Structure 1
Amino acid sequence: MRNSTCLLQPSLGTTVALPVIYSFLFPAGSFGNILTAWIFSRQAPTKRTQYIYLTNLVTANLLICSTMPFLAAYFAKGYQWNYDSVACRIANHLGTLIMHVSMYVTIIILCSTALSQYATLKKNSDALYSQAVNETFYRCVLEKFRQPKFAKYLCIVIWLTVLCITITAITYSVQERAMEEFNKCYNTRVEVGEFTTMIAASFATACFFVSFMTVLLSYYSLTRHLSKIQKNTCIGEKHLIYSIVKRNILVIQIILTVCFLPYHIFKPVFYVLLSDNDCPKLNYLVEIKNFFTCLAAAKSSLDPVITFLLDKTFKKSLYGLFTKSTPEHHKRKPDIFIEETSEMGRNKERF
């Protein structure tokens, strides 16, 4: 890419704002996710599907948080580091690898969680599913997302697939960079990437939009058919169950829209707008890309806050940490995502 001749000049937004943001997100996200993992490890049943998804989400969040100090240092001093320095290699290779692997693991697991929530209503409304999805499709696909064994294997496959794709792209990128010399760590080859990086980014963007549309269609289908049921029948106590599942899917949709959608809309635009000789434009594009990446990374720090606001049992458990004795109702198993029909009625007061 001839853009490698351009010398990137980071603005104060990159050298000051981004390091400050990452420095704030790191302790907040690390503490919040560690606390969340500790509370749920004590109270959530390990063999339940949603606990498996939750465990992997918290793991991905912690991995993203672990990259934030390196990213803060890179944006603050990367334009001064030598390209061959240890700090540059760690920030670019290890930090970039962990960040992107964890980001796309999070996106796909969020989609799987939404499908699991959607499939949960099979036990609560046969009428809903007789109209919403084909019965064969439910048995062959949707029902799988509710099975703990399938959830475990799915998460393993997700981690391995995303990891292999990211490592392959970075490996080829490193080999291509070795053919040229760079003086500074913050350069166009690092920020723009090579051809293999662009291919991997295109594949990742496609995966995101598939996940995004899957969650969106699930929410739309659920909302539409719940509206029909409410008009034709009196669903009574089940209304609360449906509302909780609908809310959970909506929260996932909001997370994907606010945190990840801007980055994935801009990434293709970023590659299209690249100009061979327009260095000022390239500087602006790179800085916009980095801020959208920061927005996506911020999701890992916001998850504990979302959990606190949505799940009353989690809130009670957290309050119980600061009291001498924890009432019995504080010790109930947290269930952010509804899973078992038999437990839904007993857990209504938690929401």
Structure 2
Amino acid sequence: MNSSSCLQPSPATTVALPVIYSCLLPAGIFGNILAAWIFSRKVPSRKTQYIYLANLVTANLLVCSTMPFLAAYFAGGHRWPYGSLACKVAHHLGALVMHVSMYVTITILCSIALSQYATLKKSTGTQHSPDLPGNFQRRLLQKFRRPKFAKYFCVIIWMIVLCITATAITVNVQHRVSEEFPTCYNIRVEVGDRPEMIATSLATVCFFLFFMTVLWSYYSLTRHLSRIQENTCIGEKHLIYRRVKRNVLVIQIILTVCFLPYHIFRPIFYVLGTDNDCPRLNYLVEIKNFLTCLAAAKSSLDPVITILLDKTFKKSLYGLFTKSTPEHQKHNNDIIAEMRRNMERFS
């Protein structure tokens, strides 16, 4: 296979992808900055869910910050020299940081789902608590709803991210420029070397573990809710169950729509991309890039998802666009009082 001429991007790559990333960028930056401002000013920062959501917003902003580099890479990467500064910046600050931040969002989404699931154990007591595993697993699950654990867990995640990013950049910088790859858009960047394939395969395994964990949480909630509805009148607690079940369902839909297609295709990409078939490789690379774009689009849509996940955030956002009249002030006070009652219920 002639590596220097095998990959030839089509207009779908050089035109469509830059346009999509350029459209996602302003929506993602504006929405996530607004969400970050609301979290810092309007909602209690010591609650577990808001610790996870604040870190989720940070990861989303990182993904959005890489979109200009990705748009420039797909628009002109097939003309850049492989060793040029533009290629290194697009490859490191674009693709690498975007992929690492993407797995941070997946991990935090799974943590939110486990936190929501563990909340029912606290809110329902021992009589009607969901079916949880043994004592050790139960204690571990309950930790996901504790603010101190959430802070330490997120710090560990970011430390791992920094180590992975620094190591990957160091390895990539040590790559020598070869005449085999004259342009930035080449097989080494798009397909990756063996260490990158191994790392991607491990990340894919981790994703499916997270995916199945959220799926298990939703199944257990649905089964438990059906059982207690048949045998018990749970009254006001029914609203708590419905809210938690809806939140876990939203997370499951996000993982299924945005991330599952990419992770199903990735092993197929590595298996089929090993043949010396340039037309097939071009199609595979472009499908992979569009599925990656779908995963990145989740970061731009996350403020909408946050509105679905959190009622307090929605009310705080609504308060920004209402006039400060006595009636609205009373309405805001009612919102704050209700928010405090909800926080005490989940504490």
- After TM superposition, the score normalised by the length of structure 2 is 0.91
- 2:116 is aligned to 117
- 1:253 is aligned to 252
Q: Are 2:313 and 1:342 aligned?
A: no
1:5 and 1:128 map into 2 onto residues whose CA distance is 64
1:181 and 1:150 map into 2 onto residues whose CA distance is 49
Change (3 A) 1:249 1:182: same
Q: Are 2:201 and 1:202 aligned?
A: yes
Q: Are 2:332 and 1:330 aligned?
A: yes
User: How much has 1:129 moved relative to structure 2?
Assistant: 3.2
Q: Are 2:134 and 1:131 aligned?
A: no
- Equivalence map 1:12-161=2 (5 Å): 12-125=11-124, 126-129=126-129, 131-139=131-139, 141-161=140-160
1:247 and 1:68 map into 2 onto residues whose CA distance is 31
Change (3 A) 1:5 1:181: closer
| Aligned residue pairs, count | 341
Query: Per the alignment, in what secondary structure is the counterpart of residue 235 of structure 2?
Result: coil
Query: In the TM superposition, what whole-angstrom CA distance separates every residue of 1:73-119 from its partner, at most 9, and x where no partner exists?
Result: 11011111111221111001121221011101110111111111100
Q: CA RMSD in A?
A: 2.4
1:14 and 1:237 map into 2 onto residues whose CA distance is 52
- Equivalence map 1:208-227=2 (5 Å): 208-227=207-226
Kept in 1, the 8 Å contact 2:122–2:346? The answer is no
Kept in 2, the 8 Å contact 1:43–1:334? The answer is no
2:209 and 2:7 map into 1 onto residues whose CA distance is 34
1:290 and 1:339 map into 2 onto residues whose CA distance is 42
1:313 and 1:117 map into 2 onto residues whose CA distance is 15
Query: Per the alignment, in what secondary structure is the counterpart of residue 183 of structure 2?
Result: coil
Kept in 2, the 8 Å contact 1:26–1:301? The answer is yes
User: How much has 1:137 moved relative to structure 2?
Assistant: 2.5
Change (3 A) 1:328 1:70: farther
1:334 and 1:108 map into 2 onto residues whose CA distance is 32
User: How much has 1:316 moved relative to structure 2?
Assistant: 3.6
User: How much has 1:315 moved relative to structure 2?
Assistant: 3.5
User: How much has 1:178 moved relative to structure 2?
Assistant: 4.1
Kept in 1, the 8 Å contact 2:3–2:181? The answer is no
Q: Which moved more, 1:6-15 or 1:202-211?
A: 6-15
User: How much has 1:301 moved relative to structure 2?
Assistant: 0.6
- After TM superposition, the score normalised by the length of structure 1 is 0.90
Task: State the percentage of identical aligned residues.
Answer: 70
Change (3 A) 1:226 1:3: farther
Q: Which amino acid aligns with 2:239?
A: L
Q: Which amino acid aligns with 1:158?
A: I
Change (3 A) 1:101 1:145: same
User: How much has 1:180 moved relative to structure 2?
Assistant: 5.6
Q: Which moved more, 1:164-173 or 1:89-98?
A: 164-173
Kept in 2, the 8 Å contact 1:128–1:226? The answer is no
Kept in 1, the 8 Å contact 2:4–2:181? The answer is no
User: How much has 1:43 moved relative to structure 2?
Assistant: 1.5
- Unaligned runs of at least 5 residues, structure 1: 345-351
Change (3 A) 1:152 1:184: same
Kept in 1, the 8 Å contact 2:4–2:182? The answer is no
Q: Which amino acid aligns with 2:114?
A: L
Q: Which moved more, 1:110-119 or 1:303-312?
A: 303-312
Change (3 A) 1:87 1:180: same
Change (3 A) 1:270 1:196: same
User: How much has 1:309 moved relative to structure 2?
Assistant: 4.5
User: How much has 1:155 moved relative to structure 2?
Assistant: 0.8
Kept in 2, the 8 Å contact 1:70–1:91? The answer is yes
Q: Are 2:228 and 1:229 aligned?
A: yes
Kept in 1, the 8 Å contact 2:51–2:150? The answer is yes
1:128 and 1:207 map into 2 onto residues whose CA distance is 32
1:8 and 1:334 map into 2 onto residues whose CA distance is 60
1:333 and 1:168 map into 2 onto residues whose CA distance is 46
Query: Per the alignment, in what secondary structure is the counterpart of residue 33 of structure 1?
Result: helix
Query: Per the alignment, in what secondary structure is the counterpart of residue 22 of structure 2?
Result: helix
Q: Which amino acid aligns with 1:48?
A: K
Kept in 2, the 8 Å contact 1:313–1:330? The answer is no
User: How much has 1:72 moved relative to structure 2?
Assistant: 0.5
Q: Which amino acid aligns with 2:104?
A: V
User: How much has 1:221 moved relative to structure 2?
Assistant: 0.7
- Unaligned runs of at least 5 residues, structure 2: none
